Chain A
Amino acid sequence: MPLTPMDIYKLLPKTNCKKCGEQTCMSFAFKLLNREKKIEDCKPLFEEKRYEKQKEKILEILKPLEKATETGLVVNDELCVGCGNCVVVCPIHVEKDPYGMAIGNGPNIDNPILRVENGKVKVCNLSICRRYGKNRILCVVCRENCPSNAISFLEG
């Protein structure tokens, strides 16, 4: 199940105390999911005893965030068969490597976003991904063309 800001918000104190530097708990939940804030920034959650149970739950649901890459991309190694569909369809790969990955071959450039290594797809260089940074586009082309559902994104 994808994690949404609302799932996180429901477990926060919802007091809008502003101790984290955000105006509301909802905006804190958004930034937490974008990994611009850390859960430890929510001081009441850690300091006040009445939020003990909520804290445990929230730490539990935030675990997948640790596995995810900077763009929220998660590759499940057990499901991947190394078909390379994701490598070939990536619009950045097509633009940067028109005679390599764009026509179905292995990469001719040094640092592709994804590459197939030892029969599994491996994330190499996310800094050129469309989803990276502040002006990002929520591109899901690699996930859409994965036959085994090995690729997923945090937001679903």
Chain B
Amino acid sequence: MICTGCSCLCNDVVVNGTRIMNACIKGYRHIAGAKENRSEAKIENRTVSIDEAIEKAIEILKNSRNPIIFGLDTTTLEAQSLAIRLAEKLECYIDDNSSFCLGEIVEAIIKKDVPSTTLDDVRNKAYVVIYWGANPYTSLPRHMSKFTYYPRGEKRPRGYEEDRYLVVVDVRKSETAMLAKKNAKFLKVEKDDELVDSFLLAVDGKAGKFGSEVGVILKEMKKSDFNVLFAGLGLKYGISNMDRFFEMIKKINEKVAPLYLLPAGFHANMRGFNETLFEKTGFVNKYSFREKRSEKEFEFMELLKKECVDAALIVGTDPLKSLPFEIAKKFMKIKKIVIDPKTSLTSKVADVVIPSAISGVECGGKMVRSDGVRFKLEPLEEKEINDVLIFKKILEGV
């Protein structure tokens, strides 16, 4: 089966009774813990039937002047397209976690502003592998062993021993940085901007703050025609100007050696949402169907801050857990509909809860891996009530 625990979408997981083979601890908990902590249909904390909950959700959405659809990162492409159709019909806002995750990087890749590649090509061809602000040990445990540094590839038969060069850029010595031993470099940075400047200067033959280290990395890059940079959340929050970072990638490509950019990883199908919305509207997230444009102020957080929305349809995510207190207080004032297979902090305070199925374990569909490759899911069972059915019913209702 294909594990939907994170955006690696590992396709070699085997489930044999209670034994789950080849999945990392995240995947194991995702699959084995599927039956735990399930949500049930509720209206204002009163248990009801699923149809009643859907009816109530339709009523809230109809009566709302400014609703928002938020989340959708763990559901399938089919459910995401239906959610976008619903947003179009309601002329409302739609946003997902990518607006404060790696959306900017995915947008640049989808628009082909920066060169990108697939993880299979990385395995077969990549020489210099850079992890910038990412610690796959915690977020994507199998990333290094399945795709990037450790496996042997067609053009890299000697694998990590001689055919790869690992660079880890982080603010602390993370577990991934510990692995940077032979043929590797760990760069401890205080400000990511300084390292970007160093790269830009080094390309022009000048020395910046990290002059000697950057010189060694660029020299290694020249040895190969395929190098890759994985950008993580540490980069997104550490850098003040993302355009400068993209300029650095382009400059290295022009003057030194081919360097491809890939997002390190995120929720299972976040890139799927970005691609689906991009096909429909030309923007990857934070979109308003009423004003037909995407703006920073249409972000879920900004809308809540300015009290622009009066109802929210939350799908497969738990915003209350991560919202700052002041914004969480404002979030509590609006009507909340939650579609989620599991109980979460948000579903506990929601006005309507609609239980659903876990994509990839209990229902099929398609998902997009972090590098843009599409996969057809192979669920263990097919549940009758899933995100697609719920969205179809809501669409009919409104």
Which residues of A does B touch, CB under 8 Å?
80-85, 87-89, 94, 98, 102-107, 115-120, 144-145, 147-148
Most A CB within 10 A of own CB, among B13, B138, B152: B152
Q: What are the 5 tightest A-B residue pairs by CB atom distance, in nearest-first order?
A: A119-B28, A104-B151, A106-B22, A119-B25, A104-B146
Asked if B335 CB lies within 8 Å of chain A CBs, one says no
Q: Tell me how far the C-beta of B105 lies from the nearest C-beta in chain A, rounded to whole angstroms.
A: 24
* CB of B42 closer than 8 Å to a CB of A: no
B10 to chain A, nearest CB (A): 9
Shortest distance from the beta carbon of A151 to any chain B beta carbon, whole Å: 13
Show 12 A/B contacts (Cβ-Cβ < 8 Å), sorted by A. Answer: A83-B145, A85-B144, A88-B146, A88-B150, A103-B123, A104-B145, A105-B12, A116-B22, A116-B23, A119-B23, A119-B27, A147-B137
Contact across chains for A118 and B145 when beta carbons are under 8 A apart: no
Report A-chain residues with C-beta under 8 Å of the C-beta of B178: 147
The reply to whether A116 and B21 form a contact with Cβ atoms under 8 Å apart is yes
Considering the complex, give the chain B residue whose CB is closest to the CB of A101.
Answer: B151
Q: Distance (Å) between the CB of A97 and the closest chain B CB?
A: 11
For the complex, give the distance between the alpha carbons of A66 and B343 in Å: 43
Contact A84 B24 (CB under 8 A): yes
CA distance A115 to B22 in the complex (A): 7
Residue interface bits B144-179, CB-to-A below 8 A is 1, else 0: 111100111100000110000000000000011011
Q: Which residues of B contact A148 (CB under 8 A)?
A: 137, 175
* Contact in complex: B28, A83 (CB < 8 Å): no
Q: Is the CB of A120 within 8 A of B25?
A: yes
- Chain A's closest residue to B175 (CB) is A147
Contact A145 B150 (CB under 8 A): yes
- B206 in contact (CB, < 8 A): no
User: In the complex, what residues of B have CB within 8 A of residue A115's CB?
Assistant: 21-22
Report whether A82 and B23 are in contact in the complex, using a CB–CB cutoff of 8 Å: yes
Residue of A105, A106, A116 ringed by the most chain B CB atoms within 10 A? A116
Nearest A-chain residue to B24, judged by Cβ: A82
List of A residues within 8 angstroms of B25 by Cβ: 80-82, 119-120
- Per-residue 0/1 for B280-296: is the Cβ within 8 Å of any A Cβ (1 yes, 0 no)? 00000000000000000
Contacting residues, chain B, for A84 (C-beta < 8 A) = 22, 24, 141-142, 145-146
- Determine how close the nearest CB of chain B comes to the CB of A104; give it in whole angstroms: 3
Complex contact B175–A104 (CB within 8 A): no
* Known contacts A83-B145, A88-B151; is-contact A117 B137 (Cβ 8 Å): no
In the complex, A103→B163 CA distance in Å? 13
Whether A104 pairs with B150 at a CB distance below 8 angstroms is: yes
Q: Residue among B22, B25, B145, B147 with the most chain A CB within 10 A?
A: B145
Complex CA distance for A102 and B159, rounded to whole angstroms = 9
Give complex CA distance A88, B123 in Å.
13
Those of B1-24 within 8 Å (CB) of chain A: 12-14, 19-24
By a CB distance below 8 angstroms, the chain A residues around B89 are none
Please, which residues of chain A bring their CB within 8 A of the CB of B150? 85, 88-89, 104, 145
Asked if A119 meets B151 with Cβ closer than 8 Å, knowing A85-B144, A104-B123, the reply is no
Q: Bits for B21-44, please: 1 = Cβ < 8 Å to A, else 0.
A: 111111111001000000000000
Q: Does B111 make an interface contact (CB < 8 A)?
A: no
Cα separation A113 to B176 with both chains bound (whole Å):
24
- Asked whether any CB of chain A lies closer than 8 Å to the CB of B181, the reply is yes
How distant is the Cα of A54 from the Cα of B24 in the complex, in angstroms? 44
A residues less than 8 Å from B141 (CB atoms): 81-84
Q: Bound state CA distance, A119 and B178, in angstroms?
A: 21
Q: Is the CB of B151 within 8 A of A117?
A: no
Contact with A along B248-274 (1 / 0, CB 8 A): 000000000000000000000000000
Contacts of B175 in A (CB 8 A): 147-148
Q: Which of B21, B152, B181 contacts A106 (CB 8 A)?
A: B21
Contact between chains at B19 and A83 (CB < 8 Å)? no
Cα separation A94 to B13 with both chains bound (whole Å):
19
Chain A residues with Cβ under 8 A from B145's Cβ?
Answer: 83-85, 87-89, 104
Separation of A102 and B32 alpha carbons in the complex (Å): 27
Report A-chain residues with C-beta under 8 Å of the C-beta of B144: 83, 85
A102's closest neighbor in chain B, by CB?
B152
Q: For B151, give the chain A residue with the smallest CB separation.
A: A104
| CA gap between A115 and B12 in the complex, in Å | 13
In chain B, what residue has the closest Cβ to A104?
Answer: B151
A82 — which chain B residues lie within 8 A by C-beta? 23-25, 27-28, 141-142
B22: which A residues are within 8 A, CB to CB? Answer: 84, 105-107, 115-116
Cα A94 to Cα B161 with chains together (Å): 12
Chain A nearest CB from B159 CB (Å) reads 8
Interface residues of B in 354-392 (CB under 8 A from A): none
Instruction: Find chain A residues with CB under 8 A from B147 CB.
Output: 104
